[in-house]
Amino acid sequence: MHTLSTLLFFLLPFASAHMDLTYPAPLNHPENPNTNAGTADFNYKSPITAAGFPCKGYHSLLGTPAGKPVETWAAGSTQNFTLGGTAVHGGGSCQASISEDGGKTFRVVKSYVGGCPAIGQAFEFVVPKEAKSGDALFAWTWFNNLGNREMYMNCAAVTISGGGSKGLSDLPEIFQANLGNGCETVPNKDLLFPTPGNDVAIVNSAAAAPVGPCG
């Protein structure tokens, strides 16, 4: 008969073996050079909860030394994000978003329908030329194909340079599901985003729309 400690030894690797954002370095991540060593989140690969939306709560670090931007991106430039981890859960669908208001709203700059995440792949997107200059939050969100119905979200502080005055308010807001709001993704299916935005990479044309009150 297994003891509790033995069971935990076997279960913990699977509980934490998901994916996380490796570039740009997310807020309060152990690999972020601005992170306070005593507060680093070593469980970064866990899914987000409704209480932890957005950014696992780490958007509150903006304006502090731990929330200093880690990259400067020019408006209109092509950038990318990369992911780390070992369990892609059959892949799924992701979005790249930017918040210009400290995490109150996130606007989608690119949606990836199927094929995301993928280990070792750089996912490209264009920083809209309308983006405002100044500090911003970049967010990666993921809805897994296999396993429990979950939502993953990591955020990084960045600076936008050479931006415009319009901002990103015309772009769709980030998609939310599997957070107890009644909107859920379909098991064993890649997610077809209801409002993916103007820039969409479709890897799986058989992706499924979410179910429930999804807005």
The reply to whether 10 falls in a domain is no
pLDDT at 13: 36
Region 154-171: what's the mean pLDDT? 97
User: Does 9 fall in a domain?
Assistant: no
State which residues form the domain around 87: 24-202
Banded model confidence at residue 89, pLDDT cuts 50, 70, 90: low
Its pTM stands at 0.91
Cβ contacts of 27 within 8 Å, gap of 6 or more: 35, 55, 58, 59, 61, 66, 67, 155, 156, 157
**Residue 189 placed within a domain:** yes
pLDDT confidence of residue 33: 97
Number of domains the chain is built from: 1
118 — pLDDT class (breaks 50, 70, 90): confident
Residue 53 within any structural domain of the chain: yes
CATH classification at residue 51: 2.70.50.70
So what's the pLDDT on residue 119? 80
Q: In the chain, what percentage of residues exceed pLDDT 70?
A: 92
**Residue carrying the six token digits 């807020």:** 27
Q: Is 179 left (phi over 0), alpha (psi -120 to 50) or beta?
A: alpha
Write out the two tokens for 103. 């995490």
Residue 137 falls within a domain, yes or no?
Answer: yes
Residue-level pLDDT at 3:
42
Asked whether residue 192 is assigned to any structural domain, the reply reads yes
Residue 210 has which token pair? 């979410």
CA distance 92 to 142: 7
Q: Can you list the alpha helix ranges (DSSP code H) found in 88-210?
A: none
Cα torsion angle, 135, 66, 30, 175, sign: negative
- Asked if residue 63 belongs to a domain, the reply is yes
Answer whether residue 15 is part of any domain.
Answer: no
Residues 170-210 have pLDDT tens digits of 999 999 999 998 999 999 999 999 999 999 999 999 999 99
